[in-house]
Amino acid sequence: MVVMKFGGTSVESAEAIERVAKIVASRGTRSPVVVVSAMAKVTDQLVTMGQQAASGNCEVALESLEALRQRHHLTAGELLGKKRAATLAPKLESRFAELENFLRGLAAVRELTPRGSDFLLSFGELLSSLIVADAFIVRGLKATWVDSRECLVTDGTHTRAVPQMSETRERCKKKIAPLISRKQIPLMGGFIAATAQGIPTTLGRGGSDYSAAILGAALDADSIEIWTDVEGMMTTDPRLCPAAKTIKQISFNEAAELAYFGAKVLHPATLLPAIHQNIPVYVLNSRNLKSTGTEITAQAPPSRDIFRAITAKTGISIVNVVASRGIMVHGFLRSVFEALDRHSTSVDIVAISEVSMSFTMETKRLPKALLTELEDIADVTPEDKQAIICLVGEDIHGKPGIAASVFNTVAESGVNIRMISQGASEINISFVVQESDVPRAVRHLHEHFFPVSGAKVRKIKSKKNGAAGITQTREAAGRGNERRPPVVRLKSAERKAAGAS
Ligand code: ASP
Ligand code: MG
C-alpha cells in the first residue's frame, strides 16, 4: 500500500489534476491511498477572507468567496464534463453556502478564534478533494471520497493540532482499510482532521505532508510519496547553481538539517510518524511521471559524494557582543543567554570566547529590544546582509580533512568566512559569509564536492590509509564501512523544524 500526497500546485488546475490521475493510475497495482492539498493559494485566500470578515469587511470577503466558487466550478467543469459536473455542483454549493454563512457570522462577532480558523481553512481541502475524487472516477479510477475528519484524530490544539495515533489507527482500520481491500482508491483532503468529539482541527500550515505520514503510519504503508513541483530534494538550490542535481537518497536527520538551513521542499518533522515506523518517504515531481525523486529514510546508505547537499540561508544578522569592562566573565555569558531567553529568540550559530560572544539570527526575527538590553552589559554590533552556508552529510562523521577541504575551496573562490560551526554530531559544517558572496561560494563548493557524473569519484588525500577509508573512493568507503547506528535525533529535529517554520 502506498500513500500518495499531492500538494497545492499539483492540483492547482484541471490540467494539473489530469496529471495526478495519470500518476495514480500508474500505481494502480500498489493500492494507493490519495491525499490532496487545497488548490494552490486557496488556503492563503481563506486566511485573508477570514481576516477581512472579522474586521467587518464582509463584502470584500464575499467577493473573494465568489472568485473561489468560480475557480472550483470552472475546474470541475473542465475535468468532469457537463453531466458529472452537474451532479457535483450541489455538493460544492452546499460547502460554499456553509462558508458564506461562516464569513457572515465572523463579520457579526468580529472575531476569528483559532477554532474558527481551523473550520474556515478546512474548506480548501474539502473542495479540492471532492473535485479530484470525481475527476478520478470519470477517468476510470475507483476513487472513494473519505472525510479526513472522520479518520485523523487530534487533540484540540487548534491551528496545529497533535495527532492521536492509536485512535487514528483504529479509525483508519475501520474507514479506510475496507476500501483498500475492495480495490477502491480512498481519496481525502490533507491538513484537516478533528478531535475525537468531531470538532474540526488542522495540522498546521503545509500540514498535508503530515497527514500523509500519519495515514502511512496508521495503515502500515509500504511507502509514502510526496508529489510536488520540483524534482525531489536537490544537492543545492538550482537557481544558485545550475549544476544542482536530485539527491537520490537521504537520511531523515540530513533532510531535517537541510530544511533548517534553508531548503524549502518540505518540513521533515512532519514525516516523523512514517520515519518512526521505517516507512520510506519519496519526494517526487508531479510534472514528470518518470520522476524517481528523493528517498528519505531513517538511515540512508553513504552517498557517492562526501556531502549530501549544500544549502544557503540568506537574510542573516551576526550580532557581536563584547563584554564591557568590569563585568565578571562568568556573569557575562549568563546575562547574554538570559537576555536571549527573555526575548524567546533562538540563535543559529554561536561562537564564544571568554569575553565575547557572536551569534547569528534571521534579521527579521532579531528584536530591537534585545539589542538595547544587551547594550546595557556589552558593546553590541549587529551586521546585516549575512548568510549561512551549510554542508550536510552524515558520512563526514569521523573523517579527517573534510573541513580543511571545505575551507580551502571557499578560499579558492575568494570569499571571506566570518564564523564557523561544526557540532559534535558531525552531520554538518556551517559558516557565515556575506550575502553577496553566496552564489560564488556555493558554485565553487558544488563544483568541488559534486563533480559532474562520469567524472572520477573524488578522493580525499590523507597521510594515513586508515580504517575510516579516507583514501578510498567514497563508494568503496561506503561498502567497507559498517553502518553507524541510527542517530535519529527526533526531538531536536522537531524543535528545529518548528523554529524554522
Ligand atoms: N493547504 C494547506 C496550506 O496551504 C496545507 C498544505 O498545503 O499542505 O497550508
Ligand atoms: Mg503545501
The model's pLDDT over 96-113, given as tens digits with 9 standing for 90+, comes to 999 999 999 999 999 999
The pLDDT assigned to 257 comes to 86
Distances 47 to 35, 121, 126, 242 between C-alpha atoms, Å? 21, 7, 15, 36
| Segment 292-307, tens digit of pLDDT | 899 999 999 988 899 9
| 38 CA to centre of ligand 2 in angstroms | 8
Sorted by sequence, the CB contacts under 8 Å of residue 214 that are 6+ apart come out as: 152, 163, 165, 168, 203, 273
Residue of 208, 210, 229 with the most ligand 1 atoms within 8 Å of its CB, for mutation: 208
Residue nearest to atom 5 of ligand 1 (CA): 206
Position 347 pLDDT exceeds 80: yes
Please indicate whether residue 8, judged by its CB atom, sits closer than 6 Å to ligand 1. Answer: yes
**Ligand 1 pocket member 191 (CB < 6 A):** yes
C-alpha cell at 341: 531567553
DSSP type of residue 248: S
Atom nearest to 7 CA in ligand 1: 7
Residue 467 has pLDDT above 60, yes or no: no
Q: Which residues of 233-252 are buried (b: 16+ CB within 10 A; e: fewer)?
A: bbbbbeebbeebbbbbbbbb
Distance 317 CA to ligand 2 centre (A): 28
Range 60-91 burial, b when 16+ CB lie within 10 A, else e: ebbebbeebbebbbebbbebbeeebbeebeee
The pLDDT confidence band at residue 455, using thresholds 50, 70 and 90, is low
pTM value > 0.75: yes
Does the CB atom of residue 122 touch ligand 1 within 6 A? Answer: no
pLDDT of 327: 61
**Distance from C-alpha of 413 to C-alpha of 359, rounded to nearest angstrom:** 25
Q: Which residue has the cell 470552472?
A: 74
Ligand 1 in reach of 190 Cβ (< 6 A): yes
Average pLDDT, the chain: 88
Which residues partner with 195 through β-bridges? 154
Give 499's pLDDT tier (boundaries 50, 70, 90).
Answer: very low
Closest CA to 201 of 128, 122, 100: 122
CA of 37 to the centre of ligand 1 (A): 6
pLDDT (average), residues 269-277 = 90
pLDDT of residue 490: 44
- Using pLDDT thresholds of 50, 70 and 90, give the confidence band for residue 473: very low
CB within 8 Å of 385: residues ≥ 6 apart: 434, 435, 436
Cβ atoms < 10 Å from Cβ of 282: 19
Confidence of residue 491 (pLDDT cuts 50, 70, 90): very low
Choose the residue to mutate in 5, 9, 36, 43 for probing ligand 1, maximizing ligand atoms within 8 Å of C-beta: 43
Q: What is the mean pLDDT of residues 252-257?
A: 89
Could you tell me which residues are beta bridge partners of residue 382? 319
User: Residue 124: CB within 6 Å of ligand 1?
Assistant: yes
- Whether residue 214 is predicted with pLDDT greater than 60 in this model: the reply is yes
Gap between the Cα atoms of 253 and 250, Å rounded: 8
Question: Does residue 189 line the site of ligand 1, with CB under 6 A?
Answer: no
Query: Model confidence at 494, in pLDDT bands (50, 70, 90)?
Result: very low
- What is residue 354's predicted lDDT score, i.e. its pLDDT? 79
Ligand 1 atom closest to the Cα of residue 44 is 4
In this structure, which residue's CA is closest to atom 8 in ligand 1?
206
Of the candidates 235, 203, 215, the residue with the CA atom closest to the CA atom of residue 281 = 215
182, with CB counted inside 10 A (0-12, 13-18, 19+), is: exposed
Model pLDDT, residue 454: 53
Instruction: Give the Å distance between the CA of 256 and the centre of ligand 2.
Output: 17
**Band (246; pLDDT cuts 50, 70, 90):** very high
pLDDT at 464 over 70: no
Higher confidence at residue 367 or residue 332? 367
Ligand 1 within 6 A of CB of 304: no
Average pLDDT for 171-175: 97
> Which atom, in ligand 1's list, is nearest to the CA of 204?
9
Q: Which ligand is nearest to the CA of 191?
A: 1
Cα 496 to Cα 423: distance, rounded to the nearest angstrom: 15
Distance 240 CA to ligand 1 centre (A): 27
More confidently predicted of 426 and 8: 8
- Ligand 2 centroid to residue 208 C-alpha, Å: 7
Contact between 336 and 321 (Cβ < 8 Å): yes
- The Cα–Cα gap between 2 and 130 comes to 20
Decide the pairing of beta strands 153-154 and 143-145. unpaired
Query: How far does the centroid of ligand 1 lie from the alpha carbon of residue 167, in Å?
Result: 23
Tell how far the Cα of 448 is from the centroid of ligand 2, in angstroms: 33
Q: Are 84 and 138 in contact (CB under 8 A)?
A: yes
C-alpha 479 to ligand 1 mean position (Å): 41
Pocket test for ligand 1, best of 45, 191, 228, 270 (most atoms within 8 A of CB): 191
Note the pLDDT tens digit of each residue in 378-396: 999 999 999 999 999 998 9
Q: Which of 11, 205, 215 to mutate to test the pocket of ligand 1 (most atoms within 8 A of CB)?
A: 205
Q: Is the pLDDT of residue 446 over 50?
A: yes
In short, whether 123's Cβ falls inside 6 Å of ligand 1 is no
**Ligand 1 atom with least separation from CA of 203:** 5
Around ion ligand 2, residues with a beta carbon closer than 5 Å are 7, 206
At residue 490's C-alpha, the angle toward residues 118 and 221, to 5°, is: 70
Kindly give the distance from the C-alpha atom of residue 39 to the centroid of ligand 2, in angstroms, as a whole number.
9
CA distance linking residue 390 with residue 422, whole number of Å: 10
Cα 119 to Cα 194: distance, rounded to the nearest angstrom: 10
Q: Are 297 and 233 in contact (CB under 8 A)?
A: no
Cα 204 to ligand 2 centre (Å)? 11
DSSP secondary structure of 291-344 = ---EEEESS-PPPSSS-SEEEEEEEEEEEEEEEPTT--HHHHHHHHHHHHHHTT
pLDDT of residue 84: 94
Going by DSSP bridges, is the β-strand pair 356-362/309-323 parallel, antiparallel, or unpaired?
Answer: antiparallel
Tell me which DSSP letter residue 199 carries: -
Which-ligand-closest: CA of 45? 1
Share above pLDDT 90 across residues of the chain, in percent, rounded to a whole number: 75
Predicted confidence at residue 459, as pLDDT, reads 46
